[in-house]
């Protein structure tokens, strides 16, 4: 009986393979049994059509690694460019190199003019 309800709410032509939320709403309006929501979610997650439609694309994520903590000043520094700024200062600087020393977290800003 439960499989029939789940099939009619998800797999039938009238149902149209809805989203997880909409299947829960549809089952809620027509049926009830103990732990029904758990059964609906399990059915939805094992639906072959859902699995194909929501297959992960792209590269797999690598393992996370801990960021190395510096033991002294200037052992590790990070840098980034901030560009396309409105011209400022007496020389019309429109870019800035931002350096951050990781041990003390001290930022250093170097004004610059970008080419082009």
Using CA atoms, how far apart are residues 95 and 64, in angstroms rounded to an integer? Answer: 33
Cβ(106)–Cβ(98) under 8 Å? no
With a pLDDT cut of 90, the percent of the chain lying above it is: 26
Crossing angle, helix 2-10 and helix 20-30, to 10 degrees?
Answer: 130
pLDDT digit string, tens, across residues 85-106: 898 888 889 999 999 999 999 9
pLDDT digit string, tens, across residues 21-73: 777 788 788 887 888 888 888 877 777 777 676 666 667 777 888 888 899 99
Using CA atoms, how far apart are residues 100 and 49, in angstroms rounded to an integer? Answer: 49
Segments in the chain forming alpha helices (H): 2-10, 20-30, 36-45, 48-53
DSSP 23: H
75-109 burial, b if ≥16 CB within 10 A, otherwise e?
eeeeeeeeeeeeeeeeeebbebeeeebbeeeeeee
Using CA atoms, how far apart are residues 89 and 98, in angstroms rounded to an integer? Answer: 17
- What is the pTM assigned to this prediction? 0.42
Close Cβ partners of 49 (under 8 Å, ≥ 6 residues apart):
11, 17
């Amino acid at each position: 009986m439960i499989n029939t309800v789940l099939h009619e709410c998800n797999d039938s032509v009238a149902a149209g393979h809805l989203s997880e939320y909409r299947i829960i709403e549809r089952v809620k309006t027509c049926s009830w049994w103990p732990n029904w929501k758990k059964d609906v979610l399990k059915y939805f997650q094992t639906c072959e059509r859902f699995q194909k439609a929501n297959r992960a694309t792209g590269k797999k994520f690598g393992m996370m690694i801990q960021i190395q903590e510096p033991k002294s000043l200037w052992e590790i520094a990070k840098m980034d460019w901030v560009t396309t700024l409105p011209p400022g200062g007496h020389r019309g600087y429109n870019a800035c190199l931002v350096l951050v020393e990781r041990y003390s977290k001290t930022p250093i800003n170097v004004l610059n003019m970008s080419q082009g």
